[in-house]
Chains A and B, each alone.
Chain A
Amino acid sequence: MADMREPIESGCPDPWQYLHPTMRKNFGQWKYHEHPRPGVLLHVAYSGDKIWTVKAGTQRILDVFTLRKLCDIGDQFADGYVHFTLRSNIEYMVNDETKVQPLIDALEGAGFVVGGTQNSVAMISHTQGWLHCDIPGTDASGVVKSMMDELIDEFRNANMPNRVHITTSCCQINCGGQGDIAINIQHTKPPKINHDLVANVCERPSVVARCPVAAIRPAMVNGKPSLEVDERKCICCGACYPPCPPMQINDAEHSKLAIWVGGNHSNARGKPTFQKLVAAGIPNNPPRWPEATAIVKRILKAYKEGARDWERVNEWIERIGWPRFFEEVELPFTKYHIDTWRGARASFNSSTYIRF
């Protein structure tokens, strides 16, 4: 151990050194912003200083060649500073308006996509999927690449009623997070248990404790200590799979995609909202997932046509009502849309508010 190096526990680095000088100078002194064109923001400080931000979408999983290309563009046009957004877009800041168009041209020329500002369909937030996760029901980067290929015009423009945040997740942990539209794995069969491995691999009491519906209990199977699942109680959530990989939840046929809508993190106009189930049973169909994309596009089309200015997806539906939503997007309404979890009663309509 003598040659082992002690870590320097420096934690989160100070960003001050990485701020564009105009941002450093006007820190906390910004006055207003404008949106000169999609993909570009203009911020004006009380000092009179201006800074233009050009935002671009990338493949998110960056190879070092792509990262260096992004750096080259930053060096050439943006004084060597960049900022990454929450949704993994890259932003370049320039304090000279004449640099904006050449910067856009350089980004587009190199294959990146300028957009993602204001009322656009923003970059889909996602994580790893089959590329790196230990529990994924699907891929994330592939789903996102396939969908963004089809939604690229909505990313490049900003003509939705309000911004649209799409997320995707490969299990119910939902790393992608709440979204105006969320495309998430929904398993439909209980885990398949490899009883030979459970005793050696899984800490059985913790696995029992993980189950949200107490469907797992210790059992002896073929003379070995294992776990069994009460399949009538099991909700196929997959919570047992991470602590106990022999309880395989992913299934090539029965792990489906579900689509949820109306998640909204902002407090603007209303309190933040969680997303609601609208479609399920969608095939998990690599490499292009056309069925899921088709539904997303139907929802976006109905929203774009039907929502008023500033209405997010949840607000649009709240105004037109769920019956009309299902009608407009041509999705079936089923008993599975009726919540059964704790607090479900709060989602029932206890009034005569019915639209005809």
Chain B
Amino acid sequence: MAIDKHITPMLDQLETGPWPSFISGIKRLRDQHPDARINEMTNDLLGQLEHSYETRKGYWKGGTVSVFGYGGGIIPRFSEVGKAFPKSKEFHTLRVQPPAGNHYSTGMLRQLADSWEKYGSGLVTFHGQTGNIMFIGTDTQNTQHFFDEINEYGWDLGGAGPCVRTAMSCVGAARCEMSCTNELKSHRMLVNNFVDDVHRPALPYKFKFKVSGCANDCQNAIERSDFAVIGTWRDDMKVDQAEVKNYIADKGRQYYIDNVITRCPTQALALNDDNTLAVNNRDCVRCMHCLNVMPKALHPGDDKGVTILIGGKRTLKIGDLMGTVLVPFKKLETEEDYESMVELAGTIIDFWAENGLEHERCGEMIERIGLANFLEGIEVEPDPNMLSHPRQSSYIRMDGWDEAAEAWFERQAEAGK
């Protein structure tokens, strides 16, 4: 059937050039999709988007839409110019949690596509920056229908609002030799133990879990998550000296001096005269650089585990914060190991829920109350790995020093050090 197509001279300019065009994709839905509902909806979407391009303004506003039983997971969008573009005046997004590590079968993607074109606009993104599959564009009623349908075959909503958000993990052990942990397991254990906090926003603000299998941190966990789990190891790095020699034979000694030896951040490496590599494992900080350059020759050790950092976030409100080391090393082998990590996350979320201000991220709360008070609140003992360096300000009352020092020695003795 013929629809009255909006003229989109500005958007049309985004159909030229070699990179795939999202505008061409939306037009395909408008012009070629058999369902008139989708043709009309995407036509009005293009009309509103063109209007934004002309006026340099956005015209969506939020609201309250959820599915039965949940309080979040939907990004409601109502058009402020709905009179001109009525068929897309409600254009909500469903945030759906992807499988850990973002793996799919084409069969499952087709099933999701079939469901989505029954109820939605036909536009979808893998994935939004929080890590959700974004099903972009449906009205309030169809939000429920689409959710009901995909929820029946295994898909659940992610977080939106002040809640535990959808987690992310790297491809990890599934296809990467750098992986030091079972990323998929940590990801699912963590987020699936807080489903209530995902679906019913009641926290001070968002709380994100991200898992990277090594310090290359492909998931940007340290900067972008409140609870970052990063794979590492604590025994010696594995060195295959024959492969080291092969690398040197290939690119020359100078290349490896310039790009491996001198680039080690703690000068833990040396190249011997016989072209073997000497590693001072006590000085190594597991930064991953030399493994990245020589992946055939160098590998993580066998005594693997994770480092946990807390409180990463972007600008608003107090400025950017990287996560801070909370647990320098944690084994994740037995079920109890994983459960104790989940328990730690629960303790932190509870403490923050009680002490965080409205719209205050966990890292901002730590900044406000002080790391030492936070540690006391969650009953974690201070550790020098948590700091770049000890305090430089003398403005501190320290009459509890003797007890604190004694407690340190007791803990060291308990740990057998």
Contact = CB atoms under 8 A, between A and B. Distances in A.
Contact of B20 (A9, A32, A57): A57
Interface in B1-44: 10-11, 13-14, 16-26, 28-29, 32-33
B223 A177 contact: yes
Given A7-B151, A15-B100, A286 B317 contact: no
A61 interface: yes
Contacts, number: 357
B123 A62 contact: yes
B32 to A, nearest CB: 7
Nearest to A162: B292
Interface stretch (A139-147, A216-224, A294-302, A326-334): A139-147
A255 B292 CA distance: 41
Nearest to A58: B20
A237 interface: yes
A151 to B, nearest CB: 9
Contact of B177 (A31, A72, A268): A31
Interface in A202-236: 206, 209-210, 212
Contacts of B179: 28, 30
Interface in B84-101: 91, 93, 97-101
Contacts of A266: 215-217, 288
B53 A139 contact: yes
A16 B113 CA distance: 21
Contacts of A138: 56
B43 to A, nearest CB: 13
B60 A65 contact: no
Contacts of A209: 357-359
Contacts of B357: 209
A120 interface: no
Interface of A is mostly: loop
Interface string B145-184: 0011001101111000000001110110111110100101
A64 B117 contact: yes
A245 interface: yes
B224 A18 contact: no
Nearest to B168: A86
Nearest to B218: A86
A31 B295 CA distance: 8
B104 A18 contact: yes
A286 B14 CA distance: 10
Contact of A61 (B113, B125, B176): B125
A31 B168 CA distance: 24
A354 interface: no
Interface string A25-36: 001101111100
A320 interface: no
A64 B359 CA distance: 36
Contact of A308 (B129, B151, B258): B258
B222 interface: yes
Contacts of B125: 60-62, 88
A175 B128 CA distance: 9
A149 B154 CA distance: 38
B252 interface: no
Given A62-B25, A82-B109, A88-B126, A268 B175 contact: no
B70 A7 contact: yes
Given A13-B155, A250-B57, A62 B10 contact: no
Interface residues of A, number: 119
Interface in A1-58: 1, 4-19, 23-24, 27-28, 30-34, 43, 51, 53, 57-58
B192 interface: yes
Contacts of A126: 129
Contact of B60 (A33, A134, A270): A134
Contacts of A286: 10, 53, 56
A132 B299 CA distance: 44
Interface string B38-72: 00000001000100110111111110000111100
A301 B171 CA distance: 31
B222 A63 contact: no
A65 B25 contact: yes
B156 A343 contact: no
B120 to A, nearest CB: 9
Contact of B222 (A31, A64, A265, A284): A265
A303 B363 CA distance: 33
A8 B156 contact: yes
Contacts of B45: 131
Given A9-B156, A14-B100, A267-B215, A59 B19 contact: yes
A212 B216 CA distance: 32
Contacts of A86: 168, 170, 218-220
B136 A6 contact: no
Interface in A73-117: 74-75, 80-86, 88, 90, 93, 111-113
A157 interface: no
Given A28-B182, A67-B113, A61 B69 contact: no
B108 interface: yes
Nearest to B67: A7
A268 B215 contact: yes
Contacts of A68: 110, 113
A30 B177 contact: yes
A16 B223 CA distance: 28
A19 B265 contact: no
B97 A11 contact: yes
Nearest to A288: B13
B67 A61 contact: no
A75 B106 CA distance: 7
Nearest to A123: B19
Nearest to A245: B61
Contacts of B286: 267
27 contacts: A7-B67, A11-B191, A11-B192, A12-B97, A13-B97, A13-B156, A15-B174, A23-B174, A23-B175, A30-B173, A59-B19, A62-B123, A63-B29, A64-B117, A65-B32, A68-B110, A83-B102, A84-B98, A84-B102, A88-B126, A111-B20, A145-B19, A250-B57, A265-B217, A266-B215, A270-B287, A271-B322
Ordered nearest first, which 6 A-B pairs have the shortest CB separation? A149-B17, A15-B99, A130-B52, A267-B215, A63-B25, A11-B192
Interface of B: 10-11, 13-14, 16-26, 28-29, 32-33, 45, 49, 52-53, 55-62, 67-70, 75, 77, 91, 93, 97-110, 113, 116-117, 122-129, 136-137, 147-148, 151-152, 154-157, 166-168, 170-171, 173-177, 179, 182, 184, 187-188, 191-192, 195-196, 198-199, 215-220, 222-224, 255, 258-259, 263-265, 285-289, 292-293, 295-296, 299, 314-320, 322, 357-359
